[in-house]
Amino acid sequence: MAKKTANDDPLAPVTLAVGQEDLLLDRAVQEVVAAARAADADTDVRDLTSDQLQPGTLAELTSPSLFAERKVVVVRNAQDLSADTIKDVKGYLGAPAEEITLVLLHAGGVKGKGLLDAVRKAGAREVACPKMTKPADRLAFVRSEFRATGRSATPEACQALVDSIGSDLRELASAVSQLVADVEGTIDEAVVGRYYTGRAEASSFTVADRAVEGRAAEALEALRWSLSTGVAPVLITSALAQGVRAIGKLSSARGGRPADLARELGMPPWKIDRVRQQMRGWTPDAVSVALRAVAEADAGVKGGGDDPEYALEKAVVTIARAARSRGQS
């Protein structure tokens, strides 16, 4: 989700959108255009790339009009503007035209930093649009999308959606819109599963969850279905490894509230609760056995064995048995 400065008036003379997340950059533009057209339905919008804004072009676009029409001028990839055009922009910042909103999209970083500094110094409204590389950021984005619609989604559902869709914010936003349009009431993990069960990440984690819960038959069924739909075996071994390691981390951690353990172990609080339920049948020795099984399966699917499917089935069965080791003789 984009972060804004204290000056949050989309009709400010200049808006600076900084970052490399295309969806957020586009939304920053759409917000300004929507506000301008709400004030004047006949607002003229000029959307330009850096090479289209030549020296003198900005002066032409912002010159007084006989009809005093409202105008939005969007400049994309402002970091790539020529030196002469940057001079034009800096000159404009000192005396922006009335009824005109200039929107500059800048990638951030070193290139074009002089322009970036000048726009900030001029007091422009700024919208941060950073690339969301961390799963936690994408999870926060999904939650904010649901909140923006006024709908409720469980933490597990939000996490399942991120696991299912991946890192593409446009796809995540689209998925939230689809769920909100199609589903009544609270959106939970089961609903997400029904809509996006074919996704590689989702099916991989289903295999892992069933295995660490000791549900061998269901884990094998999920495994065979995943492989039949083209899920890469390495994704499944990765999910198995994450599942077993989470058990090991939590079993060796100090007791405490989920929020405290989440900070200590680098897991979301809802996952702490889930792993606590999954680890009931586990012992430290069982974790070691399961990790060895995952390592052997990983070697098997990466060329160390003749039958990757058998290697995965063997690992799944071993992990499921390990999950039921507590209390067994």
For the chain, what percent of residues have pLDDT higher than 70? 87
DSSP states of 248-283 as a string?
HHHHHSPP--HHHHHHHHT--HHHHHHHHHHGGG--
Residue 192 is predicted with a pLDDT of: 85
Residue 84 is predicted with a pLDDT of: 96
45-76 tens-digit pLDDT: 999 999 999 999 999 999 876 566 789 999 99
- How many C-beta atoms surround the C-beta of residue 170 within 10 A? 12
DSSP states of 97-128 as a string?
PTTEEEEEEE--SSTTHHHHHHHHHTT-EEEE
Which residue would you say has higher pLDDT here, 164 or 282? 282
Question: Is residue 325 predicted with pLDDT exceeding 80?
Answer: no
Residue 329 is predicted with a pLDDT of: 42
Q: How confident is the model at residue 6 (pLDDT cuts 50, 70, 90)?
A: very low
Burial of 100 (C-beta count, 10 Å sphere; 0-12/13-18/19+): buried
CA distances to 30, 55, 312 from 72, rounded to whole Å, are: 11, 19, 57
Residue 30 is predicted with a pLDDT of: 92
Q: What is the mean pLDDT of the chain?
A: 86
Residue 93 is predicted with a pLDDT of: 95
Q: Cα separation of 300 and 234, whole Å?
A: 10
Bridge partners, 129 (sequence order)? 19
For the chain, what percent of residues have pLDDT higher than 90? 49
Q: What is the pTM of this model?
A: 0.60
The token pair at 83 is 């030196």
Residue 92 is predicted with a pLDDT of: 95
Say which range, 156-160, 198-202, 246-250, 273-277, has the weakest mean pLDDT. 198-202
229-281 tens-digit pLDDT: 777 888 889 889 988 988 888 887 656 666 666 667 666 666 777 788 888 88
Question: Is residue 11 predicted with pLDDT exceeding 90?
Answer: yes
Residue 233 is predicted with a pLDDT of: 87
304-318 tens-digit pLDDT: 667 889 999 999 999
101-141 tens-digit pLDDT: 999 999 998 999 999 999 999 999 999 999 888 888 889 99
The token pair at 103 is 């929107």
Average pLDDT, integer, range 79-88: 95
Q: Cα separation of 114 and 118, whole Å?
A: 6
